[in-house]
Structures are given as C-alpha cells and as structure tokens.
C-alpha cells in the first residue's frame, strides 16, 4: 500500500498486487477531493486485503474512518 499524491494538494490510497516474480497483476487507487491516508493493511485466510485509514473527502469533511476490502482479483 502506498500513498500517492495525484495533484499538488491531495493524497489517495494506492494498492498494488504483484505475483511471485514481482510482475504487477493489478493496481487500485481510492480517493476523492481530499486526503485518503491508509494506515494499516491486513490479509485474512481467504486472501482478502483490508485497508483502514482516514479520509477528508467523504462524510463530514473532517478526518473520517474508512475501511476498504479487496479480494484476490482486486
């Protein structure tokens, strides 16, 4: 998981899945007009990826919690 700044002011969360050889299988980004900052990543027994973090793009415009879930196919 990475943070990526797509313009000069906002951060988005960016996830990259690579295979055993380091070849990129897929990428996903998530964000809006504010900041999306992923702070923790977890993997469950079904290989689902969970990202938890904070966002200023959604909700009340302050730091709100987000939880993203991706399966093995993105």
State how far the Cα of 20 lies from the Cα of 31, in Å rounded to an integer: 28
pLDDT-based confidence at 61, cuts 50/70/90? low
Read off the pTM: 0.77
In tens, the pLDDT along 5-44 reads 555 577 888 899 999 999 999 999 888 888 888 899 999 9
Residues whose CB falls within 8 Å of the CB of residue 19, separated by 6 or more in sequence, listed in order = 25
| Strands (DSSP E) found in the chain | 2-5, 11-18, 24-30, 36-43, 49-55, 64-70
């Amino acid at each position: 998981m990475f943070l990526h700044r797509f313009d000069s002011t906002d951060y988005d969360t960016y996830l990259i899945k690579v295979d055993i050889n380091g070849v990129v299988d897929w990428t996903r980004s998530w964000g809006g007009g504010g900041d999306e900052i992923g702070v923790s990543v977890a993997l469950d027994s079904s290989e689902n990826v969970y990202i938890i973090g904070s966002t200023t793009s959604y909700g009340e415009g302050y730091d709100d919690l987000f939880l993203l879930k991706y399966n093995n196919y993105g």
